[in-house]
Amino acid sequence: MARDDLFPEIPFHRSGFLDVGDGHRLYWEESGNPAGTPVVFLHGGPGSGTSPAQRRFFDPQGWRIVLFDQRGAGRSTPHASVQANTTPHLVADMERLREHLGIDRWMVFGGSWGSTLALAYGQAHPARCLGFMLRGIFLGRPSEVEWFLTGIRLLYPDAWRRFAEFLPEAERGDLLSAYHRRLFDPRPEVHLPAARSWARYEAACSALVPDPRQLADMENDQHSLALARIEAHYFANRLFLPPQGLLAGMDRLARHPAVIVQGRYDVICPMASADLLARTWTGAEFVVVPDAGHAAMEPGIRRALVRATERLKTLVAA
């Protein structure tokens, strides 16, 4: 019978910190089968970090599962740092990690911002990619950032109102700049409340049916600060992507197998971006989950992702 939900919890069997320069040390871990097909998991945000549950998308008998926390995120150090933290830095970090682990080629799995980084990495290093499993597509275009900051109010006016009204009325005309100033203020009494407000807003809009556990995660100040500060940094700098955007480089990935999983009612990363990517990447399988939003652990999303890892495991093994 085909697998239709998460695999059981598994421990990691190897972990460490990789010095990637610029004062950054990345936390990484491996689980699953050391002789299996390598897959690298790219977390979202940027800045959200990884969690043990993310290992469970993969059959531990078939996959060599690599998770790592990107610069400033999770257990990587320095925490919430945006110094030398750009998309090209993260792409280079992935290559350094791949070489450090002695992996020739790997499957790339990423959701939300992780899908952005997966495409940027794949276009820079297509020969190192076996294929792609992507969720909640974010192409990093200015229109997508603007949607997150203001467009969501059309569907979540209550959550957006709390997000906006955290700021003085005079500053609400430019939410990103106002939050950016507070998030980078050195005083905890200034940056922590702003980080909590940003993180709660994102969590409130992420799932079709809100998950109390995800909302509770946003009460963790360490997590909220890394997420909000690094996201604001990337948003303020157009995600450090080339002016022509990611779609212009999709010819480099035309022959790679890929599965795109998208919740029909994803409000954080609306489906139009996934639809555009799928029409550009004609060889990719496009799976629309009819009863889901953005969050990876929503039942329909996680089932579709597990099915994708099982299909691609078979394809790569063949």
The band of 19, judged by pLDDT with boundaries at 50, 70 and 90, is very high
Q: What percentage of the chain exceeds 90 in pLDDT?
A: 93
The overall average pLDDT reported for the chain is: 95
In a shared domain, residues 307 and 169: no
Sign of the Cα torsion 74, 121, 300, 13 reads: negative
CATH assignment at residue 71: 3.40.50.1820
Q: Confidence band (pLDDT; 50, 70, 90) for 231?
A: very high
- Selected catalytic residue, list 76, 112, 197, 273: 112
Q: Are residues 308 and 200 in the same domain?
A: no
Residues 168, 181, single domain; the answer is yes
For the chain, how many structural domains are there in total? Answer: 2
pLDDT more than 70, % of the chain: 97
Task: Please check whether residues 26 and 82 belong to one and the same domain.
Answer: yes
* pLDDT at residue 12 is higher than 80: yes
Closest CA to 93 of 137, 58, 48, 124: 124
On whether both 219 and 274 belong to a single domain, the answer is no
Whether 252 and 276 map to the same domain: the answer is yes
- Around Cβ 268, how many Cβ atoms within 10 Å? 21
> Which pLDDT score, from 0 to 100, does residue 53 have?
96
- Which of these is catalytic: 59, 69, 93, 266? 266
Q: How confident is the model at residue 1 (pLDDT cuts 50, 70, 90)?
A: very low
Task: Establish whether 143 is a catalytic residue.
Answer: no
- 23 has a pLDDT exceeding 70: yes
Question: Is residue 6 included in any domain, yes or no?
Answer: no
Inform me whether the pLDDT recorded for 277 exceeds 50: yes
**Mean pLDDT calculated for residue range 37-41:** 98
Same domain, 51 and 177: no
Same domain for 81 and 155, yes or no, is no
Q: Which of 43, 223, 233, 294 is catalytic?
A: 294
- For residue 36, is pLDDT > 80? yes
Three state DSSP letters for the chain? CCCCCCCCCCCCCEEEEEEEECCEEEEEEEEECCCCEEEEEECCCCCCCCCHHHHHHCCCCCEEEEEECCCCCCCCECCCCCCCCCHHHHHHHHHHHHHHCCCCCEEEEEECHHHHHHHHHHHHCHHHEEEEEEECCCCCCHHHHHHHHCHHHHCCHHHHHHHHHCCCHHHCCCHHHHHHHHHCCCCHHHHHHHHHHHHHHHHHCCCCCCCHHHHHHCCCHHHHHHHHHHHHHHHHCHHHCCCCCCHHHHHHHCCCCEEEEEECCCCCCCHHHHHHHHHHCCCCEEEEECCCCCCCCCHHHHHHHHHHHHHHHHHHHC
pLDDT for residue 264 is more than 50: yes
Express each pLDDT in 162-184 by its tens digit. 999 999 999 999 999 999 999 99
Q: For residue 315, is pLDDT > 80? A: no
Burial 151-172 (b: 16+ CB within 10 A, else e): ebeeeeeebbeebbebbeeeee
Structural domain boundaries, residue 150? 143-239
Q: pLDDT value at position 214?
A: 64
**Is 112 an annotated catalytic residue?**
yes
Using one digit for the tens of pLDDT, what is the confidence trace for 102-143? 999 999 999 999 999 999 999 999 999 999 999 999 999 999
Residue-level pLDDT at 270:
98
Say how far residue 21 (Cα) sits from the centre of its chain: 22
Q: What is the pTM of this model?
A: 0.97
Q: What is the average per-residue pLDDT within 275-281?
A: 98
| Mean pLDDT of the region 135-157 | 98
Rounded CA gap, 110 and 119, in Å? 9
Residue 45 lies in a domain: yes
Q: How confident is the model at residue 218 (pLDDT cuts 50, 70, 90)?
A: low
User: Is 89 considered catalytic here?
Assistant: no
